[in-house]
Amino acid sequence: MTLFEAAILGIVQGLTEFLPISSSAHLRIVPVLAGWEDPGAAFTAIVQIGTLAAVLIYFYHDIKTIVAATFRGVLAGKPFENQEARMGWMIAAGTLPIVIFGLLFKDQIETSLRSLYWISAALIILALFLSLAEWLMRRRQQQGRTQESMQDIGWKEAILIGLAQSLALIPGSSRSGVTITAGLFLNLSRETAARFSFLLSLPAVLAAGVYQLYATWDELMASSTELVNLSIATVMAGVVGYASIAFLISFLKRHSTAIFIMYRIMLAAVILIMLQSGLLLPK
């Protein structure tokens, strides 16, 4: 991997990690179209540390409040005393499904599921579910139902959205896409679904990144070039990721996810056409 390739892939990661269009799909597709080597699942997990930093900075005050309330609750013997303390435990509980499934299907995630056929299917299927979620939201609004905010999120929402997050292990599905979709099904507002999606991603992204750093540490230390490239990609992902978060939160206050639904379907169609014509290989 050259420095230029690393920078481009870092930008792609930061741009697509938080938009519901799948960063893993784009990190798989862009190198293929450019004639580069597949960076691999380990590269994706490590570079996500950059986008993790973006979430930490953007939601600094929310995270500080949640962590402080959680520790105060534990020390006082009242771990669920208020919504902020409960939120800390709910995020932890919502993270368990992706950790369990990630360990169970680690080999498939890093090999067979990276097929462009799997990615295309995931792009289309999530687009259809997101369309259904948007339709249900419009129907509830017509019935005069009030959408729920962060203060209304309970254990049911946290666990179900956490289960949905585990589907993000399939390249092409999108971590933000599946969690925002689940949030809309549970009557969260678009902005609330996005905010909770980003907060919920913190433990899983941190764990995956640290694990891959540990697993590939000797390889990284053996090549200063690879270490520099990975560092550049991570920094670029963080900078662009911060801008992506700000954009999406602002966008969802006024718009639906229709543009992302259409993009996912068009991208999947282009991939399938190129696969059938032989311009792309599945792996």
Per-residue three-class SS string for the chain: CCHHHHHHHHHHHHHHCCCCCCHHHHHHHHHHHHCCCCCHHHHHHHHHHHHHHHHHHHCHHHHHHHHHHHHHHHHCCCCCCCHHHHHHHHHHHHHHHHHHHHHHCHHHHHCHHHCHHHHHHHHHHHHHHHHHHHHHHHHHHHCCCCCECHHHCCHHHHHHHHHHHHHHHCCCCCHHHHHHHHHHHCCECHHHHHHHHHHHHHHHHHHHHHHHHHHCHHHHHHCHHHHHHHHHHHHHHHHHHHHHHHHHHHHHCCCCCHHHHHHHHHHHHHHHHHHHCCCCCCC
Q: pLDDT tens, 120-151?
A: 999 999 999 999 999 999 999 899 888 888 88
Structural domain includes residue 283: no
- Cα end-to-end span (Å), the chain: 18
Whether residue 227 lies inside any domain: the answer is: yes
Confidence of residue 161 (pLDDT cuts 50, 70, 90): very high
Work out the mean pLDDT of the chain and round it to a whole number. 88
Q: How confident is the model at residue 190 (pLDDT cuts 50, 70, 90)?
A: very high
Residues 280 and 272: their CA atoms lie apart, in Å, by 9
Number of domains in the chain: 1
Whether 212 maps to a domain, the answer reads: yes
Question: Does residue 11 fall inside a structural domain?
Answer: yes
Quote the pLDDT of residue 221. 67
The pLDDT of residue 283 is above 80 = no
Q: Is the pTM of this model over 0.75?
A: yes
Please tell me the predicted confidence (pLDDT) of residue 222. 67
Q: Is residue 155 part of a domain?
A: yes
User: For 46-66, how does the pLDDT look when each residue is reduced to its tens digit (9 = 90+)?
Assistant: 788 888 899 999 999 999 999
Domain enclosing residue 46, as ranges: 3-276
Is 49 within the bounds of a domain?
yes
Q: Within a domain: residue 196?
A: yes
pLDDT, tens only, 81-121? 889 999 999 999 999 999 898 888 877 776 777 788 889 99
Q: Which amino acid is at 265?
A: I
Structure tokens at 143: 């019935």
**Span 197-223, mean pLDDT?**
78
